[in-house]
């Protein structure tokens, strides 16, 4: 029957490589190509990098293993999985929280996906240079970066164009997701991730020829510890969670599609290594480009949509490099977006007995409605504020400052304290078949280190320490 399933008939990924491609596809997203470089830029380059790698090793990987263990042991959607692992207890609410995080993130992630599609199109049609010339005609004092900043602001706050691109992003996701776990997610990831890798290597090759290469490398790799303070630590931990897609139900959902002989520790480490490598390579692409054209790398969130188009305009061969770059970030966005979608889709299929088609349709309609509201909140509906933020920023803040730390904290406590130690040992060793030498340090990380670290970021994120 062609399809590999568990003995309950539930879908699993067909191959190890496909499973890793899907999980790496989820992990590698705007977090790697946009957020990691700009936070590294703000937080001291190499010094941030060292702390980030430690956060991935000692917090990110342990939490990913915990989430894989929950998903793979239960073979259920995120809510069903927490319930099945700890039956008759309120721990299922942590699964529900993960589901809620995924649904809220979906609202702004589809909008950013739409922006990347639009910018790929604009790069293809050479629209950045046309825009800059037109804007400079109107105001001769504008430089390229100034023109592109104003242009980006106009684009995201306009009522129609970003919505059209958001809808296209949702349609692309729906097309893949309708194919299911193996023929949709796994197949798409297995094709798109190698393409992403090749694009990235071409861009790294281009970076080598830039005269700012050495400065860029120095910035990224030579640590400047004078910039390190509590806030840099917090950024590093927050970025590690976001980038590895933990604390939002995704790795529980993808873990539930792993077969019973997959080594969870090895898989989580492979995903984390690839994710970190790709983030670093994105830095290798971006920083030399900034230094070559005298643009400060610590520009913040405008780095990808404003700074880089300005850099590409000046770079020899910048047209093709720009097209490849925006295509790269679009691919990264699609494979991440589909993993967020899979959280509510698997929930609807299993808990509400919907068909795959119905679940995909319902999730897309939800993403569309929330996406429209998010997009309009940057323009037309900007007057409508929640806790001082427009809806777009509110969803970003409420998920990353409150909901994700709480979800991560409770997951660590549940696996570390509430479940028996042999839950983790059984999951990691595949029922005793494989070695689980790291289970003791892992349990202690989940019991003590992770909760303390997460509590500290949580309290400081909300301004209490
Ligand atoms: N981990 C992905 C990234 O680095 C993004 C992601 C965030 C995916 C939130 C799902 C949910 O961008």
| Stretch (H or E) spanning 101 | helix 92-124
- Ligand 1 atom index nearest CA of 34: 12
Torsion of CA 333, 242, 103, 8, to 10 degrees: 90
Instruction: Output the CA 329–ligand 1 centroid distance in Å.
Output: 12
Instruction: Output the CA 25–ligand 1 centroid distance in Å.
Output: 9
Residues with CB under 6 A from ligand 1: 26-27, 29-32, 105, 242-243, 245, 248, 250, 336, 339-340
Residue nearest to atom 6 of ligand 1 (CA): 245
Instruction: Output the CA 64–ligand 1 centroid distance in Å.
Output: 13
Instruction: Output the CA 331–ligand 1 centroid distance in Å.
Output: 13
Query: Rounded CA gap, 372 and 391, in Å?
Result: 11
Residue that is written with structure tokens 């936070």 in the block? 39
- Ligand 1 atom index nearest CA of 36: 4
Provide the 3-class DSSP secondary structure of residue 293: coil
- Ligand 1 atom index nearest CA of 333: 12
Residue to substitute in 25, 29, 196 for testing ligand 1 pocket (most ligand atoms within 8 angstroms of CB): 29
- Ligand 1 atom index nearest CA of 30: 12
Contact 99, 343 (CB under 8 A): yes
pLDDT digit string (tens) for the chain, length 465 residues: 445 665 567 889 999 999 999 999 999 999 999 889 888 878 888 889 999 999 999 999 999 999 999 999 999 999 999 999 999 999 999 999 999 999 999 999 999 999 999 999 999 999 999 999 999 999 988 888 889 989 999 999 999 999 999 999 999 999 999 999 999 999 999 999 999 999 999 999 999 999 999 999 998 888 888 888 777 887 888 889 889 999 999 999 999 999 999 999 999 999 999 999 999 999 999 989 888 888 777 666 678 888 889 889 988 899 999 999 999 999 999 999 999 999 999 999 999 999 999 999 999 999 999 999 999 999 988 888 898 899 999 998 889 888 998 999 999 999 999 998 899 999 999 999 999 999 999 999 999 999 999 998 788 877 787
Phi first, then psi: what are they for 11, rounded to 5°? -65, 145
């Amino acid at each position: 029957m062609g399809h590999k399933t568990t003995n309950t008939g539930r879908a699993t990924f067909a191959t190890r490589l496909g499973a890793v491609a899907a999980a790496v596809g989820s992990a590698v997203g705007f977090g790697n190509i946009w957020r990691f470089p700009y936070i590294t830029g703000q937080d001291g380059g190499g010094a941030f990098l060292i702390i980030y790698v430690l956060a991935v090793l000692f917090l990110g990987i342990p939490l990913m293993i915990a989430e894989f263990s929950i998903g793979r042991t239960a073979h259920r959607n995120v809510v069903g999985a927490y319930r099945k692992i700890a039956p008759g207890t309120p721990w299922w609410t942590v699964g529900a929280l993960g589901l809620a995080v995924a649904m809220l993130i979906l609202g702004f992630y589809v909008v950013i996906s739409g922006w990347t599609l639009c910018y790929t199109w604009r790069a293809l049609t050479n629209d950045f240079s046309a825009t800059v010339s037109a804007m400079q005609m109107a105001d001769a004092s504008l430089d390229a970066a100034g023109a592109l900043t104003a242009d980006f602001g106009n684009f995201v706050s306009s009522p129609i164009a970003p919505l059209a691109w958001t809808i296209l992003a949702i349609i692309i996701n729906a097309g893949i997701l309708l194919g299911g776990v193996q023929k949709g997610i796994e197949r798409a990831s297995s094709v798109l991730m190698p393409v992403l890798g090749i694009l990235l290597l071409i861009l790294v090759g281009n970076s080598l020829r830039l005269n700012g290469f050495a400065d860029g490398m120095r910035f990224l790799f030579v640590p400047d510890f004078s910039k390190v303070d509590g806030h840099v630590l917090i950024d590093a931990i927050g970025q590690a969670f976001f980038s590895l897609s933990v604390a939002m139900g995704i790795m529980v959902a993808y873990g539930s599609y792993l077969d019973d002989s997959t080594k969870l520790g090895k898989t989580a480490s492979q995903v984390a290594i690839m994710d970190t490598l790709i983030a670093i390579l994105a830095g290798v692409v971006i920083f030399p480009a900034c230094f070559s054209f005298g643009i400060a790398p610590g520009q913040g969130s405008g780095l990808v949509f404003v700074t880089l188009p300005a850099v590409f305009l000046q770079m020899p061969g910048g047209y093709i490099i720009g097209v490849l770059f925006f295509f790269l970030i679009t691919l990264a966005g699609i494979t991440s977006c589909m993993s967020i979608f899979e959280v509510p889709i698997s929930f609807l299929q299993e808990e509400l007995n919907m068909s795959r088609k119905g679940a995909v349709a319902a999730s897309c309609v939800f993403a569309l409605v929330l996406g429209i509201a998010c997009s309009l909140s940057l323009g037309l509906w900007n007057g409508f504020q929640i806790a001082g933020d427009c809806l777009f920023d509110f969803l970003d803040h409420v998920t990353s400052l409150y909901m994700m730390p709480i979800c991560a904290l409770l997951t660590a406590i549940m696996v570390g304290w509430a479940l028996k130690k042999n839950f983790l040992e059984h999951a990691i060793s595949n029922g005793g078949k494989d070695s689980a030498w790291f289970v003791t340090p892992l349990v202690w990380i989940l019991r003590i280190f992770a909760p303390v670290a997460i509590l500290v970021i949580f309290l400081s994120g909300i301004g209490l320490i």
